[in-house]
Homo-oligomer: A and B are copies of this chain.
């Protein structure tokens, strides 16, 4: 097909684009998004800073590319964790998923901050980021589906009222018809809890002597599994 025939110029462009993203990602990992500098990237690559604008029209565009890559990397890890967990054990799947998200965040703190931290003022996430961003959420949905037929809620879900009821049942119909709406709403709670914990831990915002370290994380993951009604693992 025609796309396979690439001129030397096209190949050079793709490679240099990759090269730029690679160096930018390196600087991002070391210094954070705040200190990521186009000029420094260009300097490191031995090119004029103005030449870099042939590849990324602005700093925001370069950041967007990094964001998409990061969402995909995280999404892939999450999907892999869920798919390699014991298939019939939704609690183990949830454990694997939350652990994977947390460890990725710890290994790539600045990229995590780029995804789930303070948004850059004036920056609006372009639509290309939506699909990659949804992958992690879909992995959680997958866990809920795996446990859909044998959830044992220890506590009845508070009735969903008003718009929330419509939104949640619409979401359920759209993405996981076999999942009970009440369970799905608890999935949102678990989802929030997971990212809340990771953000607190990574950004160092939890006050006091109890840092949300391994112990708190593991404990809360189990409490959330109970909250979701995921059946106990049978070892």
Contact = CB atoms under 8 A, between A and B. Distances in A.
A54 to B, nearest CB: 26
B154 A155 contact: yes
Interface in A105-126: 110, 113, 115-121, 125
B121 A171 contact: no
B163 A213 contact: yes
A164 interface: yes
A197 interface: yes
Interface residues of A, number: 63
A199 interface: yes
Contact of A210 (B119, B121, B125, B167): B167
A209 B171 contact: yes
Interface stretch (A27-35, A79-87, A89-97, A143-151): A27-35
A169 to B, nearest CB: 10
Contacts of A195: 196, 200, 205
A158 B223 contact: yes
Interface in A185-235: 185-186, 188-189, 191-193, 195-197, 199-200, 203-210, 212-213, 215-216, 219-220, 222-223, 226-227
Given A116-B205, A185-B216, 17 more contacts: A32-B121, A34-B34, A113-B118, A117-B203, A119-B205, A154-B155, A158-B223, A163-B215, A171-B208, A171-B210, A185-B219, A188-B210, A188-B212, A189-B193, A192-B212, A196-B199, A227-B227
Lowest 6 CB-CB distances: which A-B pairs, in order?
Answer: A196-B196, A117-B118, A164-B215, A32-B121, A192-B196, A113-B118
